[in-house]
Amino acid sequence: MPFDADSELTDEALLALYASGNRAAARTLTMRLTPRVLSVAARMLGDRSEAEDVAQEAMLRLWKIAPEWRTGEAQVSTWLYRVASNLCTDRLRRRRGVGLDDAFGDGVAPADEQPPAEERMQTAVRATALQEALAELPDRQRQAVVLRHLEGLSNPEIAAVMEIGVEAVESLTARGKRALSALLKGRRAELGLSDDG
Amino acid sequence: MTAEFEKQNELELEALFDALRDEPEEPSSDLLARVLADAYEAQDARAAKAMPEPVSSGPQPARRGRIRGLLDMIGGWPAVAGLVTATVAGVWIGYNPPAALDDLTLSVMESSYSYDASLGSMLPVYSELLAEG
């Protein structure tokens, strides 16, 4: 059955096809879901290499569970975000065993060390600063903020991913954002934000 | 004042989120290849597991009806084929005998094997037998 990455088939339908041995479904799911998993892992871990490992591992778990997938019970993307988030949390906990300086010392810097073009300079500086500040948040706050404000999930979707109530999600994102503001307060001028606050 | 401050904070954070969203983490072709290889491997592993067991060479638990029993008794389908051939040959020879058989019959009976009226005259007539008592 020929269909591409822009196929209108749902993730769930593609997963059923994949489970029946369809190679094209495997390709479409890979192209569709890997970027999302990688994105959330990279935001949570601040390390490209580790994020790739997490993305691969999360996708592998999806491939393995495909035959047992129960239709209509959960969204594939929600399940995948949960698996990726949990894998990230595990890695963050292990990092703390190593020490925060070792874990975040260089890992937060973007992999691309080339100086950005002039017009992208500020964007890059802001992105880096926010990534650094995210790394300072408690795991659950970071997870909620990343899913809400970077991945664009709704609060009920995040509640399903994190297996908590919607109110708890709202509380986590609010506290996370307050903490981010506090962490970035001293860098307003550097980031091109108002410096009189 | 506090609400205004919160609003300002919100806008600034949104600008930072925008900046980070503008720096997407695109998967490398290497990562995509690894993920796809895993996908295929998992599919292949399942397919191998799902393959039916090879058919054993032992006797099949097939239905053994009366016809099957009769076949076994006379030696199976080859024997049936032999019987059919012999039957067809017999019918054909009866219908259209080969010349060699005529010679054989003549040598034995010194006559045609076919019905001959003169042969019938050699037999005693039933009425004559009755007359003789």
Specify the amino acid at residue A7: S
Contact across the interface for B16 and A197, Cβ inside 8 Å: no
| pLDDT per position as a tens digit, A88-146 | 999 988 877 755 444 444 444 444 545 445 556 778 888 888 999 999 999 999 999 99
Q: Are A151 and A117 in contact (CB under 8 A)?
A: no
From the list B22, B26, B42, the residue facing A123 with the nearest CB is B22
Is the pLDDT at A67 greater than 80? The verdict is yes
Q: Are A54 and A13 in contact (CB under 8 A)?
A: no
pLDDT at position B56 is: 54
ipTM of the prediction: 0.79
pLDDT at position B91 is: 75
Give A22's pLDDT tier (boundaries 50, 70, 90).
Answer: very high
Specify the amino acid at residue B12: E
Segment among A52-56, A158-162, B2-6 with least mean pLDDT: B2-6
> Which residues in chain B are contacts of A182 at CB distance < 8 A?
none
Rounded to 5 degrees, what are φ and ψ at A12? -65, -40
d(CA B132, CA A163): 124
| pLDDT per position as a tens digit, B38-75 | 999 999 998 888 776 555 555 555 555 666 666 666 66
Specify the amino acid at residue B105: T
d(CA A141, CA A44): 10
- Return the higher-pLDDT residue of A74 and A137: A137
Q: How far is A24 from chain B (nearest CA, A)?
A: 10
Residues whose CB falls within 8 Å of the CB of residue A132, separated by 6 or more in sequence, listed in order: A46, A104, A108
Tell which CATH classification among 3.40.50.10070, 1.20.140.160, 3.40.50.850, 1.10.3720.10 matches the domain A11-187.
1.20.140.160
CB count within 10 Å of CB B28 equals 13
Is the pLDDT at B78 greater than 90? The verdict is no
Give B87's pLDDT tier (boundaries 50, 70, 90).
Answer: confident
pLDDT at position A100 is: 44
pLDDT at position B133 is: 55
Average pLDDT, chain B: 72
Q: Are B11 and A192 in contact (CB under 8 A)?
A: no
Find the mean pLDDT for residues A145-163. 94
> Which residues in chain A are contacts of B43 at CB distance < 8 A?
18, 21, 23, 26, 63
Distance between start and end Cα atoms, chain B: 156
- Residue of B7, B12, B41 for testing the chain A interface, max A β-carbons within 10 Å: B12
Find the mean pLDDT for residues B103-126. 58
CB contacts under 8 A, A 55-114 vs B, are: 55-56, 59-60, 63-64, 66-67, 110
